[in-house]
Homo-oligomer: A and B are copies of this chain.
Amino acid sequence: MSKKIVIVGGVAGGASAAARLRRMDENAEIVLFEKGEYISFANCGLPYYIGNIIEERDALLVQTVEGMSQKFHMDIRVFSEVIKIDPSKKKVTVKNLKTDESYDESYDILLLSPGAHPVKPPIPGISEAENLFTLRNIPDTDAIKSFVDHSAPKSAVVIGGGFIGIEMAENLHHRGLKVTIVEASDQILGPIDYEMAAILHNHIQSKGVDLILGDGVKSFENRGNRIVLQSGKEIETDLIVFAIGVRPETQIAKDAGLKLNERGAIQVNEYLQTSNESIYAIGDAIEVTDFISGKPAMIPLAGPANKQGRIVANNICGKFEKYVGTMGTSVVKVFDMTVASTGNNEKLLKSNEVSYEAIHIHPGSHAGYYPGALPISMKMLFDPSTGKIFGAQAVGYDGTEKRIDVIATAIAAKMSAVDLKELELAYAPPFSSAKDPVNMLGFVAANMMDGLIDTVQWHEIDDIVKNGGILLDVRETIEYHLGAIQGSIHIPLGELRSRFNELPKDKVIHIYCQVGIRGYNAARILVQNGFKVKNLDGGFKTYGSVFL
């Protein structure tokens, strides 16, 4: 006998599950409820449509109701909000938003993929702000685009420096608006760490976008034409995009007594089954397991939502498959730059009290002698005793997310940091170097684990100098004169062996060069000649992205 499967939510998770369900079971009865007008749209493309980068609105609609109904032989009902779940009777109550009528629909299996909604706290003046928008779906997009097209705003303030905030800032800037980003934390893009974000802070500002960090909104005034910040600072603006994060859309799940976490996300087991065995849940609405730490996490991304959709369909059809957790691999374009990351960052490792080492390198995207090579700043976090990779971050241009994808794959395979050195990655001059940046991370990690090199981090240097520590710059004279860390002494690498007498053997010598390579070579020379040394990880470049 064929099952009746009811799905709530018809976009990333819901539509993916529906398509797979049909392929797995031609006879299942599939009913998909979507409260909006559209199913299967490209959430991730919305900012680019507003920016006119994506020109056709239709391009955002991956599948139409008609197309999908026909191809997958399913009952798709839009403008249909599921307002109640009755788990004991196995039915949902649906409100037709066109007619305001409600009716019940029974299910054998219920799948929830209701997503999340933008957080909108009761800041004074927020509801009176007529020029304030959030962005989640097509109507939101239409509203913002229409405002930009027809009200000709000259300036915009984006509140929140997360993925959506940054994409909106870029796209509004592209539309010719004077854009200001306001972010309460001291950095944009939480998934990466401060010194990596610092590179982007510089880049964004170089584009003429104002960046206000460490300051939040206190109130909106004058119907949103003035924003007053916590610091007292005031900004006049024509348009506000409010993008400080999302919250799971789980009121009906809560009302039905499903187990939620304290932040409102639905808790599921490895089979993506909620606390009620006939109800499954996926996507932004659920709590997942952090693949790295094994702890609960909420990671609202399209890749996981889509994959969970396929897995849950298999499970519903009896082809059981576990969802093993999310590592949060992500990428975002930030004007000309790309930033990508995977796994846990340093902030999280610290708060989880995990002991780790960090590596910063700045290799070229491809062979330096082939035109167009640009540096990629990379950071990897790993366990120096076991080699376990906790996470990696990269900021650069071409080839940035490629390296993160490779590391994400290595993490999934539970490879160690040292294994990265043997990876055989594709090399020709336009694409990489004979030793790919990922190999380099492996080399450096191996050297640290083998005790060949000890490092010191960018944020430790100023205190070291202040306390009378020795800081040695081993770059060429011209580089030293163009800018050096205050308090450093200078001996170029090439002269080091003949100038040992200038260095003490009883104190730690902190070495630095531009990116860390010459410093490492200098360290190997000094250590083997009886000196105590530490190399500044990531060199002057990592230090300088924060302090210069």
CB distance from A38 to the nearest CB of B (A): 13
Q: Which residues of B contact A301 (CB under 8 A)?
A: 427
Q: A26-B528, A406-B406, A431-B401 are in contact. Are A304 and B424 (CB under 8 A)?
A: yes
Which of these binds chain B: A53-61, A100-108, A219-227? A53-61
Judge if A340 is at the interface, Cβ distance under 8 Å: yes
Complex interface: chain B residues within 8 A of A27 (CB) = 528
Closest Cβ of chain B: how far from A256's Cβ, in Å?
A: 28
B42 touches A367 (CB 8 A): yes
In contact, B369 and A45 (Cβ under 8 angstroms): yes
Return the chain B residue nearest A526 by Cβ: B26
Q: Are A428 and B71 in contact (CB under 8 A)?
A: no
Residue of B nearest to A331 (CB): B426
By the criterion CB–CB under 8 Å, are B370 and A53 in contact?
A: yes
CB of A305 within 8 Å of the partner chain: yes
CB distance from A129 to the nearest CB of B (A): 28
User: Of all chain B residues, which has the CB nearest A497?
Assistant: B73
User: CB within 8 Å of B: which of A493-548?
Assistant: 493-494, 497, 520-521, 524-525, 528-529
Given A431-B338, A434-B306, A494-B70, is A54 in contact with B371 using a C-beta cutoff of 8 Å?
A: yes
Residues of B within 8 A of A319 (CB): 450
Contact with B along A385-427 (1 / 0, CB 8 A): 0000000000000010110111011101111000101111111
Q: Which residue of B302, B409, B493 contacts A413 across the interface (Cβ within 8 Å)? A: B409
Neighbouring B residues of A235 by C-beta, 8 Å: none
A496 to B, closest residue via Cβ: B71
Comparing A109-117, A257-265, A321-329, the segment that makes contact with chain B is A321-329
The answer to whether A296 has its CB under 8 Å from any CB of chain B is no
- CB <8 Å contact, A427 and B303: yes
A62-B369, A333-B428 known; A303+B435 contact, CB < 8 A: yes
Q: A436 vs B406: C-alpha distance in the bound complex, in angstroms? A: 13
Is A48 part of the contact surface with B, judged by Cβ < 8 Å?
yes
Q: Contact at A26–B524, with CB atoms within 8 Å?
A: yes
**A79 close to chain B: CB less than 8 A:** no
Please pick, from B324, B408, B419, the residue contacting A412 in the complex, using a CB distance under 8 A.
B419
Q: Could you say which residues of chain B place their CB within 8 Å of the CB of A42?
A: 367, 369, 429
Q: Is B326 a contact of A424 with CB atoms below 8 Å?
A: yes
A41 to B, closest residue via Cβ: B369
Report the separation of the CA atoms of residues A434 and B305 in the bound assembly, to the nearest whole angstrom. Answer: 9
**Contact present for A425 and B53 (CB under 8 Å):** no
Determine whether the beta carbon of A405 is less than 8 Å from that of B402. yes
Q: Are B413 and A410 in contact (CB under 8 A)?
A: yes
A59 to B67, CA, bound (A): 55
A443 at the interface (CB under 8 A from B): yes
Q: Would B423 and A412 count as touching, CB distance under 8 A?
A: yes
Name the B residues within 8 Å of A73 (CB-CB): 497
Complex Cα gap A415–B45 (Å)? 32
Residue of B nearest to A338 (CB): B431
Is there an interface contact between B426 and A408, defined as CB atoms closer than 8 Å?
yes
Measured in the bound complex, the distance between the Cα atoms of B436 and A340 in whole Å is: 15
Distance between Cα atoms of A439 and B330 in the complex (Å): 15
Interface residues in A259-318 (C-beta closer than 8 Å to B): 291, 301-307, 310
Check: A332 CB closer than 8 A to any chain B CB. Answer: yes
Q: How far is the CA of A71 from the CA of B525 in the complex (A)?
A: 10
Could you tell me the distance in whole angstroms from the C-beta of A520 to the nearest C-beta in chain B?
A: 8
Shortest distance between the CB of A159 and any CB in chain B (Å): 21
- A354 contacts chain B at the CB level, 8 A cutoff: no
Known: A431-B331, A439-B307, A494-B70. A60 touches B405 (CB 8 A): no
Chain B residues, Cβ within 8 Å of A134: none
> By the criterion CB–CB under 8 Å, are A408 and B423 in contact?
yes
Residue A80 lies at the interface, judged by CB distance under 8 Å to chain B = no
Q: Does A250 contact B (CB under 8 A)?
A: no
Contact between chains at B524 and A23 (CB < 8 Å): yes
Q: In the complex where A413-B413, A452-B23 touch, is A370 in contact with B434 (Cβ < 8 A)?
A: no
Q: What residues of chain A have their CB less than 8 Å away from a CB belonging to chain B?
A: 12, 22-27, 42, 44-45, 48, 53-55, 59-60, 62, 67, 70-71, 73, 163, 291, 301-307, 310, 319, 324, 326-333, 338, 340, 342, 367-371, 399, 401-402, 404-406, 408-410, 412-415, 419, 421-432, 434-436, 439, 443, 450, 452, 493-494, 497, 520-521, 524-525, 528-529
Q: Apart from A26-B524, A59-B368, A412-B423, list 8 A-B contacts with CB within 8 A.
A: A12-B434, A23-B452, A45-B429, A163-B428, A302-B427, A326-B424, A327-B424, A333-B431
Can you show 20 pairs from A to B with CB atoms below 8 A apart?
A12-B434, A22-B524, A23-B452, A23-B524, A26-B529, A27-B528, A42-B429, A45-B367, A45-B369, A53-B371, A304-B424, A328-B424, A329-B426, A331-B428, A332-B428, A333-B428, A342-B424, A399-B402, A401-B402, A408-B426
3 nearest A-B pairs in the assembled complex, by CB-CB distance: A413-B413, A331-B426, A26-B528
